[in-house]
Amino acid sequence: MPKKTFAASHQAQCDTAKEGDDAALSYKISYHNKTDAADAPASEARLFRFFCQMGAYNETHVYYLWNEADGLNEQHFATPELDIHYEGDNPDGKLESVSVIGYRSENALVNSSFDDKTMTLLSHAKWRGVGDASSDGTWIFRDGAFSLIKYDVDASYDGEINPETVLDYNTGP
């Protein structure tokens, strides 16, 4: 059922006919909500990752989460909206500032993976092929949903990999 839902929802934007081991991945997630009693059995969910599309150096994935209470739901991910300024408004010039001016909801992650040990989704979007400009996000699964906890940005097109953290809740409660 998740593959049919994905294909029906994303046939215009994604390669929904892709086959192979990396076309769709599934992960079992066992977890406790913070409101659960200490002796409560673990809740279970299933995370589905679907390949969407590939460019020269990035590929995108769409995620669905299934649990008994809510059924199957497409996942959307909070992502910082950035205000980036370069000297002379030239991206090849000196980076002057990077500011978070809000948040957006994205339905696909770039170059993403799920780490079942830390229960985190990771994303690494290259802004150009050499990888010297990019963004990295980390979303943790807690209380039955994904929450953005860290976001790094390397907005300088300077040939070096030197990201700066623009959001960090990784040391939260």
Determine the average pLDDT of the residues in 20-44.
89
pLDDT tens-digit map of 45-59: 999 999 999 999 999
Do you know the residue count of the chain?
173
Per-residue confidence (pLDDT) for residue 81, from 0 to 100: 97
Determine the average pLDDT of the residues in 19-26.
78
Least confident of 17-31, 64-78, 138-152: 17-31
Determine the average pLDDT of the residues in 86-109.
94
Residue 83 in contact with residue 27, Cβ under 8 Å? no
Per-residue confidence (pLDDT) for residue 144, from 0 to 100: 94
Greater model confidence, 19 or 7:
7
Per-residue confidence (pLDDT) for residue 173, from 0 to 100: 52
Alpha-carbon separation of residue 126 from 28, 56, 111, 159 (angstroms): 29, 10, 9, 13
Residue 21 confidence class, pLDDT cut points 50, 70, 90: low
Determine the average pLDDT of the residues in 95-99.
95
Determine the average pLDDT of the residues in 66-80.
96
pLDDT over 90 at 113, yes or no: yes
What is the model's pTM? 0.91
161 vs 119: CA distance, rounded Å: 26
Residue at 5: amino acid letter: T
How does the average pLDDT of the chain come out, rounded? 93
Residue 172 confidence class, pLDDT cut points 50, 70, 90: low
Determine the average pLDDT of the residues in 153-159.
94
% residues pLDDT > 70 (the chain): 97
